[in-house]
Amino acid sequence: MENMSNYWDSLVDLAVAYIPKFLLAVVTLIIGVWLIKRIARSLRRFMERRNLDPSVVPFLSTVASIALYVMLFLSVAGMVGIETTSFIAALGAAGLAIGLALQGSLANFAGGVMLLIFKPFRVNDVIEAQGVIAQVTEIQIFHTILKTFDNKTIILPNGPLHNDKIINYSTEKTRTVEWIFEISYKDSIDKAREIIHRIVYSDPRTLNAATPFINVSELGQNGVRLKVRAVVNGADYWGLFFEVNEKVKKAFDQEGITIPFPQTEVRLHQDY
C-alpha cells in the first residue's frame, strides 16, 4: 500500500511539474503558428510595396516562414524539457539522411536559388523551356509555375529548368517577325515583292518601314521563296504574324500570284 502511495505521489509530482510546461508549450505553439502566418503575409505585402522583384517575393516569404517554424518548433521542444542540443544533433543527422533520400528536391531548391540570383527570366516573362512556351506566373522554392496561352498551368521543377536551355521572348522590347512566302517560277518576283511590301510595311505596327527586308532566300523545288522580316514591339508579334499571312494570301489570289504546292506528274506511254 505504501508503494502505491509513493507511486501516486510521484505521478502527482510529475503532473505538477510537466502539465504546466505542456500547456504552455501548446499555447506557445498555437500562438506561434498564428503569428508566423501573419508575419509571412506582412512580409509579403512589405516586399510588394517596396516593388521588389515579383519573382523573389514568394521565394523569400516561403524561406522566412520555414525558418520561423523551425525556431518555433525548437522553442516548444525546449519548453517541454527536450534537450535542444542533442535534439539539434539528431535533427542534423536526420536531415542528412533525408537529404540523401531527397536529392532531387534539393537539386530543385538549388535550381530555384540560381534562377533568382542570375534571373534568366522574371514573373510575367514568356519563355520556352522543357519543350513548352508559356508565361511565368510564379517562381517557388522547388518549382516554377507557367501559364500557357490556352490557359493551362504547367509546373516545372527548378533543377532541370535551370540546367536546360531557356529562351526568353520578353527580354527585348522589340522582336523580328519572319515570314517565308513561296511563289511559282512563272510569277514575277518584283510584283510579289511589291504586294508584300504594301501589306507589311504600311502597317503602323511595323517599326522598320524605312529599311524593308524582302529577299529571295531559296530557289526551292516547287517555287521561289521570299523571306520577309519586320521589327515590331513584343506585344504586336503574333497579331501581325497571323494577319500578314492572311492578307498576303488574299492579295496573291487577287493579283494572280500562284502559291505552289508539291505536285506529281504522271505520264503514260503506250507501245503499239
Asked if residue 6 and residue 95 are part of one domain, the reply reads yes
Q: What global pTM score does this model have?
A: 0.58
**Are 77 and 148 members of one domain?**
no
Residue 252 has pLDDT above 90, yes or no: yes
Cβ within 8 Å of residue 231, ≥6 positions away: 174, 175, 176, 177, 206, 207, 208
Most confident range (mean pLDDT) of 106-110, 149-153, 264-268 is 149-153
What's the number of domains the chain is made of? 3
Grid cell, residue 103, equals 536529392
Q: Does 131 fall in a domain?
A: yes
Summarize pLDDT for 165-194 with one digit per residue, the tens: 999 998 889 999 999 999 999 999 999 999
pLDDT confidence band for 41 (50 / 70 / 90): confident
Q: How far apart are CA 240 and CA 141, in angstroms?
A: 37
pLDDT at 135: 93
Which CATH number belongs to the domain containing residue 69 in this structure? 1.10.287.1260
> pLDDT class for 218, splitting at 50, 70, 90?
very high
Burial class (CB in 10 A: 0-12, 13-18, 19+), 241: middle
Residues 56 and 90 placed together within one structural domain of the fold = yes
Residues 141 and 221 in one domain: no
- pLDDT for position 69: 80
Q: Which three cell numbers stand for residue 211?
A: 529599311
Q: Please enumerate in sequence order all residues whose Cβ is within 8 A of that of 226, keeping only pairs 6 or more positions apart, or say none.
A: 180, 181, 182, 183, 189, 192, 193, 196, 214, 215, 216, 217
Q: Name which residue leads in pLDDT, 244 or 63.
A: 244
Residue 53 lies in a domain: yes
In this prediction, residue 114 carries a pLDDT of: 83
Q: Are 234 and 175 in contact (CB under 8 A)?
A: yes
Asked whether residue 235 falls in the same domain as residue 197, the answer is: yes
CATH number at residue 208: 3.30.70.100
11 and 89 belong to one structural domain: yes
Do residues 137 and 151 both lie within one domain? yes
Same domain, 42 and 87: yes
Neighbours of 57 (CB within 10 A): 20
| Owning domain of residue 142 | 120-168
